[in-house]
Amino acid sequence: MQYIPNIIFLLILVAGIGYFSYNIRKVIRNIKLGLPVSVSNKGERLANVGRIAIGQSKMVVRPVSGAMHIVVYLGFIIINIEVLEIIIDGLFGTHRIFSTFLGSFYGVLLGTFEILAVLVFAAVVVFWIRRNVIKLKRFMSKEMTGWPKNDGNFILYFEMVLMGLFLVMNATDVPFQHMDSGNIVSQHIASWFSGTSEGTLHIIERTAWWIHIVGILIFLNYLYFSKHLHIMLAFPNVYFGRVNPQGQFKNNKAVTKEVMMMMDPNVDPFAAPPEGEAEETPAKFGASDVMDLTQIQLLNAYTCTECGRCTSECPANITGKKLSPRKIMMDTRDRLEEVGKNIDANKGVFVPDGKQLLGDYITNEELWACTSCNACVEACPVSIDPLSIIMEMRQYLVMEQSAAPNELNGTMTNIENNGAPWPFNQQDRLNWAKE
């Protein structure tokens, strides 16, 4: 009978980690539906992980929210070091196993955890006020209704409850309070329970302990359904983020060849490609659905935190146009999830559903509102690149559907016919000089 709690704990732990692993495998499967991309500049990428993902350098551009995010980020990670102790205690029936060999340092560690727990709780309350009382504009966009809005609040409630349980667990742990080391905050909470019998305190402590560890496992599995999957994906996403200059677009060799032939009358359009260079004409220009995007772009979609910094910096959005870079990423993720569910329902094979990212999720109007200024890319704290997806779908519209706006169609027709964007043939270009 004495081992029943340990067996129950083991079953809960295995179920929690197993379900999380199952869902993460689906995320990886979905990302791999994209086109593979080779990366270089590994040293620079690792430096970006240290500076942007770990160092939070792009978060503190906005000092208030950046500082609070660092508190939550560091506090939550550091406090959860104690989860290792909880797991060992749960599996082997011990109690605060680390205290037996860490000595006085255990008190320092727990004292640090308690201070961080209070700071995290306070920061989370401020975040909740910003969303629900002050109602900052970037959290009130039309794409932030329903589940996206609720999701942002749910995660705040999760963090409040977990921090509260941690402090109550420590406050009602009689042996820990008797140590009088590390109970910097919990000793004050313990006074709330003065007059409570030791047996009742033990029940409260055990209840808080169980709810705390089960809550952490629920939180872990909630990540898959939440924008907070970025807690794990931000690091690989920053690593694979673009390192080229932001104004540099991907060069399509097939298009380049066509332009070179148009601009140089000496080029033989029927000549064989140079030795060692294969003819490179893609099966499809641009992207109309998630399978046409790269794996990095799909990773971007799953990493989006929905913070809205990109949209708040977008000049098109600021001037009232429909484009929201945040919505581009959310739509891409929603369509990718839809495709994944289709594959699950059809035993590992995608069955065409008559839908695609372009048109059913993202409209032409949104795409052509983009000025390609890179403000969204610069603003993103985890190196997401909405512009690359916009440009891929624009290319599809132009080169596969001839569906560019009339102004752009006229310019491109002039370039094709006259070698310049103006509606004059080459022989008439210098007529202005005669006057």
Instruction: Say what the pLDDT of residue 391 is.
Output: 95
Instruction: Say what the pLDDT of residue 431 is.
Output: 79
Instruction: Say what the pLDDT of residue 274 is.
Output: 65
Instruction: Say what the pLDDT of residue 307 is.
Output: 94
Q: The whole model's pTM is what?
A: 0.90
172 and 208 Cβ atoms separated by less than 8 Å: yes
Q: Is 150 exposed, middle or buried (0-12, 13-18, 19+ CB in 10 A)?
A: exposed
Instruction: Say what the pLDDT of residue 78 is.
Output: 85
Each of the 435 residues of the chain gets a pLDDT tens digit; together they read 678 999 999 999 999 999 999 999 999 999 999 999 999 999 999 999 999 999 999 999 999 899 999 999 888 788 878 889 999 999 999 999 999 888 889 999 999 999 999 999 999 999 999 999 999 999 998 999 999 999 999 999 999 999 999 999 999 999 999 998 999 999 999 999 988 999 999 999 999 999 999 999 999 999 999 999 999 999 999 999 999 988 888 877 777 777 777 677 676 766 666 665 555 667 789 999 999 999 999 999 999 999 999 999 999 999 999 999 999 999 999 999 999 999 999 999 999 999 999 999 999 999 999 999 999 999 999 999 999 999 999 999 998 998 888 888 888 888 878 878 888 877 777 777 877
239 Cβ contact partners less than 8 Å away, ≥ 6 residues apart: 45, 46, 48, 49, 53
Crossing angle (nearest 10°) for helices 4-31 and 198-222: 20
Burial annotation 154-185 (CB, 10 A radius, 16+ → b, else e): bbbebbeebbebbbbbbbbbeebbebebbbbb
How far is the C-alpha of 432 from the C-alpha of 435, rounded, in Å? Answer: 6
Give the residue carrying structure tokens 């993720």. Answer: 333
